[in-house]
Amino acid sequence: MERKNAWNEYGPEDMFKLEETALKYRRFLDKGKTERECVTEIIAQAEAAGFRNLDDIVKAGETLKPGDKVYAAGMKKIIALFTVGSRDIAEGMNILCAHIDSPRLDIKQNPLYEDTDLAYLDTHYYGGVKKYQWVTIPLAIHGVVAKKDGTVVDVCIGEDEDDPIVYITDLLIHLSAKQLQKKASEVIEGESLDILIGSKPLSDIEDDKKKKEAVKENILSILNDTYGIEEEDFLSAELEIVPAGKARECGLDRSMIAAYGQDDRVCAYTSLLALLEQDYVPEKTSCCLLVDKEEIGSVGATGMQSRFFENTVAELLDRLGCFSDLALRRALRNSSMLSSDVSAGYDPMYAEAFERKNCAYLGRGIVLNKFTGARGKSGSNDANAEYIARVRNVFDENSVAFQTAELGKVDFGGGGTIAYIAALYGMDVIDSGVAVLSMHAPWEVTSKADIYEALKAYEAFIKEA
């Protein structure tokens, strides 16, 4: 059962909306290369669209009513946005959930060192990466440094065209005979992903001990002059190494987008946009939940396994004047969710990894994954047939191009999403997202058509599911 290529169905109006959505998405990617940056940009866009901070409403003792738009953020890394519906929230919400963290390299707590007149930052990779993909490409430093006096310094180096970039070296081909005999997973070791950040020694050093690390001292001098940072401040820093450069149109026909972090910001942004552009009072309360830590198991205070969402819904119920433990449990149990996460796009260059009847193709619309997991569906949600039928009907009634898929051939690997965690509340959940080429690579590729269809799908879901 082959699904049609969505491009063939578009008229001038669709093409205009498609390109407009793609441009907004690229701008979002450029502004949000970390989960903190994403939340900052999301709040800015939400407030511009009339959303208010739920914390402010709670402090003021205000109540909420149908049509009100609110958001709540946790630790600047997780955020939930709601449009209050006309029906009792205990009857359930329509929830779009995606994650805003992406694979990257994190700077260690004691990272800075010098070796033979070269200065480096030591890193620890975050999430599932092919380590060899991160060498010899332009890299940028994003994040924050929290100082003991309580101030937090924002750091972004490598994105402006006048900025320097940072870099991970590789062994030259002329001396690589032994290296090339290693397995791909061992060609670049995790402890070899250190960031080259300087080679110029600081002059006029009087301390003999510091003279031995003059390049390191020069880097510290630059950081202190620019950001007021001392070496000890790395202890309370969150600095992430990401690919430098803006999101780009891909292909001579400009039909695709190549960028860092599209897993899963392609679903996060289209979910957000669906809620921000909602210009009516929905029957069911609409929610967009964007979480952190999915790439490392959804753990911690900002991951899906935390109580952030449950606590936020409790606050929402309280401001609606209907809080009780039973009402909270009913609101969560009766909800419907699209776990909006990306799927592996079929790549004919690696056809052996895919089962062609059950895989996702670029340009054929949003992807429904009944289950993810590995081997015998281990770690998957495996959505109910009745719920899939309901989602199919919503998509068909709203002319949404969609396809169904599995994550590659059986026993070739696997992966998971947050769907199984949300399902613990008893709500209906299915994975639904955009097909991606080169997933988890420093630069990933998506189709503009699939991004547009994802937006249409999410708009239809929060209105009619």
Whether 414 has a pLDDT exceeding 80, the answer reads no
The whole-chain average pLDDT of the chain stands at 95
> CA 275, 279, 280: angle at the middle one, nearest 5?
105
pLDDT of amino acid 373: 72
Task: Report the share of the chain in percent with pLDDT over 70.
Answer: 100
**Per-residue pLDDT tens over the stretch 255-264:** 999 999 999 9
pLDDT band at residue 371, thresholds of 50, 70 and 90?
confident
pLDDT band at residue 400, thresholds of 50, 70 and 90?
very high
**Per-residue pLDDT tens over the stretch 309-324:** 999 999 999 999 999 9
The runs of H, that is alpha helices, within 3-96 are: 12-31, 35-48, 54-60
DSSP assignment of 255-266, as one string? Answer: -EEEETTHHHHH
Phi (first) and psi of residue 357, to 5 degrees? -75, -20
pLDDT of amino acid 47: 98
pLDDT of amino acid 438: 98
pLDDT band at residue 225, thresholds of 50, 70 and 90?
very high
Q: What is the mean pLDDT of the segment spanning 239-256?
A: 98
pLDDT of amino acid 2: 75
Strands 69-74 and 78-83: antiparallel
**Per-residue pLDDT tens over the stretch 422-444:** 999 999 999 999 999 999 999 99
pLDDT band at residue 168, thresholds of 50, 70 and 90?
very high
* DSSP conformation class of 23: H
Whether 10 has a pLDDT exceeding 90, the answer reads yes
pLDDT of amino acid 205: 81
More confident residue, 263 or 376: 263
Instruction: Show the beta-strand stretches assigned E in 17-147.
Output: 52-53, 69-74, 78-83, 93-99, 104-115, 118-126, 139-146
Q: What is the mean pLDDT of the segment spanning 72-83?
A: 98
pLDDT of amino acid 406: 87
Strand partners, 119: 114, 198
Phi (first) and psi of residue 161, to 5 degrees? -65, -20
**Looking at domain 104-243, which CATH architecture does it have?**
Roll (2.30)
Please indicate whether the domains covering 6-102+260-464 and 104-243 agree at the CATH topology level.
no
Whether 408 has a pLDDT exceeding 80, the answer reads no
Whether 379 has a pLDDT exceeding 90, the answer reads no
Q: Residue 259: name the closest of 103, 444, 418 by CA.
A: 444
6-102+260-464 CATH, one of 2.10.210.10, 3.30.70.1050, 3.40.630.10, 3.40.50.1010: 3.40.630.10
pLDDT of amino acid 381: 83
Phi (first) and psi of residue 450, to 5 degrees? -70, -35
Whether 411 has a pLDDT exceeding 80, the answer reads no
pLDDT of amino acid 297: 93
CB 409 within 8 A of CB 355: yes
Cα 160 to Cα 142: distance, rounded to the nearest angstrom: 12
pLDDT band at residue 293, thresholds of 50, 70 and 90?
very high
Q: Residue 435: name the closest of 354, 373, 368, 361 by CA.
A: 361
pLDDT band at residue 101, thresholds of 50, 70 and 90?
very high
pLDDT of amino acid 344: 94
Q: Helix or strand or coil: residue 152? A: strand
pLDDT of amino acid 407: 81
Q: What is the mean pLDDT of the segment spanning 158-179?
A: 97
Domain boundaries defined on the chain? 6-102+260-464, 104-243
Cα 33 to Cα 39: distance, rounded to the nearest angstrom: 10
Directed axis angle between helix 448-464 and helix 262-276, to 10°?
50
pLDDT of amino acid 176: 96
Cα 142 to Cα 258: distance, rounded to the nearest angstrom: 20
Cα 420 to Cα 458: distance, rounded to the nearest angstrom: 20
Residues 6+ apart with CB under 8 A from 156: 140, 141, 142
Which pair of tokens denotes residue 235?
């202890």
pLDDT of amino acid 68: 98
Cα dihedral 444→446→451→452 (10° resolution): 150
pLDDT of amino acid 389: 96
Cα-only R_g, the chain: 23
pLDDT of amino acid 209: 75
More confident residue, 82 or 416: 82
More confident residue, 209 or 60: 60
Biggest CA-to-CA distance, the chain:
76
